Structure 1
Amino acid sequence: MNFSSDNVVGASAPVLEAIVRHNGGTMPAYGADPLTLGLTPRFRDLFEHADLAVFPVATGTAANALALSVMVPPFGLCLCHEEAHVMEDECGAPEFYTHGAKLQGLPGPGGKIAPETLDGFLSGLTRHVKQMPPRALTLSQLTESGQVYTVEEIAVLSRIAHAHGLTVHMDGARFANALVGLGCTPAEMTWRAGIDILSFGASKNGALAAEAILVFRPDLAETLEYRRKRAGHILSKGRFLAAQLDAYLADGHWLANAAHANRMAARLAAGLCEIPGVRLAWPVQGNELFPILPAGLDRALRRGGALYYDWASRSLPEGEALREGEAMIRLIAAFSTTEAEVEAFLALARRAG
């Protein structure tokens, strides 16, 4: 009953089979193989964008940091939510790869930045050489609270950012879960809504270790190949990275994985909400849920072998707060989470509740 993360499970069978299938024989190294070269037309077709540039990398941290390195100069600001993954969970990698640029966190319930918050911050900055100028906005999709930015919200935030001279990045570590939750197309959730660069995540949703930086503006892609090599993120045996992404996208596998994870999260949420004293901090919009529950139930679940994380309550909705004797936790369902695992967790919670 490990619901601590979607990183704790292995890779999906099609992805592993693809790695084995492409293991035999020889192929050109450093991304010159036909599998890697084939990713660009595949992503261009998927995102309906003829000029899309594709840069595979092995980790989400590399994708985010390298993407931001072409958007923000060393003297610039990158705006994000104050609880964003790039702010709290990447050990300064964005600042390192931008050679000293600063991340500026903005508040907002549910891990989301409101348009008025963004516009107010940008409009209130001085235009003096002493002030680091804002150069980029990065949005997490899903947010750290498991919430989705709707297509309309992305478009409004992008318009504000662009009007102030910023580029817009999306951290799509759980891109597929958000896409399935919204029921829109990849193009609608990205470049058509104003996104300039996307960190396209696959590792949390069935890949072994595979992400892709997708650049929708050719001018921003110009130096990324050199930055990726300089950072040590061009794999010598790049075919194995490409094989994962190829299998991940084939026959809608990535969307089926995300849909299953989302369903398992919704099932967990529905069962937990039937237990007295349990409520959700935010609605379930992807594969994450954040129950607020009696502390005694929390202890009983842990004693029973359930694994999950405590969670901070900084961006709770207005009017919501942890009461005395309560705990807030995070549960994440993965592409491989089974109904039996969900039911075992719920059975344990019912007995303890």
Structure 2
Amino acid sequence: MEEARKQPSCTTSTEAKEILPTENMKTPLQSNARWLRTYKWWFQVAIYILFLLSGQAVGTLLGRLYFDKGGNSTWLATLTLTMGFPMLLPFLFHSSLQNHNADYSRVQQPSVLVLTSIYVFLGLCTAGDSVLYSLGLKYLPVSTYSLICASQLAFNAVFAFFLNAQKLTFFIINSLVLLTISSIILVIHNDTEDSSNNSKNKYTLGIICTVAASALYAFVLSFTELMFQKILKSKTFRVIIDLTFYESLVATLAIVVGLFASGEWKSLKSEMQDFRLGKVSYIMTFLWTGISWQVFNIGCNGLIFKVSSLFSNVISVVGLPVDPVLAVVVFHDKVTAAKVVSLLLALWGFMSYAYQQYLDDLKAKAKRKCPREVTEDSITEI
């Protein structure tokens, strides 16, 4: 009995064969197929990360450029966040996405009413979120705006805890605290140089709108992940395209209604004529901003689908420090001590979260190697 207790549970080759016979009996062809699947997964994740980071950086800078060079329409700036959905039409109607997806046809699809309800709800939330983000970008420098957006990770973790059963460990909680403090520093420190072109009330309004937008954006991410888990179960690229297209379509229609209801459409012609970079630049800024944010949406939904909403948000937060750096070069934003401290805290918070992901990955690998121990732990917990 004592000798039996001393034997490790996952060390001998005999036990490994008894526990995982299929793992030891895998042919080279099976091993290669598994490697190819892993490689394909990482390649897709890398592409979505590239879409998210590039779309976010370009979209933010072009949005700020619009306001700096004479643009003043909040609703038009909001429209650029969602109006790029027509570029998805070739993917939406591509025959290979409709007719050659075994997974899509095999999984029972939700009813049209359910899908419509999901798209309308997410679209309206996205429209409201876009309005808040546009107000924040209108009244804040890019550097301040980007750093405050880091608070969306804290909100996302809270929503993921309730909607997606995300565990809040010490390192994740530490990340939330640091990111929250990072945003609070900017809220308290109203930089007079940064707000010279806007009143103090508008500066405060910009901060409030950006924080509110971050919270709503975090909710949309967690709710989207919940929909992928519970309703949109088909593991295909078409699901991502469908969700991105129809969500953006609903949001665009809602924003267009707001544009006409507010009366801002009447001043768009004169605004284009007075745009300091010229009419062509005005149109191109509007066009490329819309394309950039649509690329961002594909990357965001793709990462939610492939990994999780929290991971998607983490990648988005990782890209936020890029915007202030670019803003210093492009718009000559001031680099203050408060912004530096806020940026360092945001990076520290991200590193804390990344370390928790590293620990989770090690734990998952250990479970795959030692299924007997996992079973005993599970029985003990139950």
Q: Same fold (TM over 0.5)?
A: no
- Tell me which protein shows more strand as a share of its residues: 1
Higher RCO structure (Cα 8 Å, ≥6 apart): 2
TM-score w.r.t. structure 2 length? 0.27
TM-score w.r.t. structure 1 length? 0.28
- The structure number with the bigger radius of gyration is 2
- Tell me which protein shows more helix as a share of its residues: 2
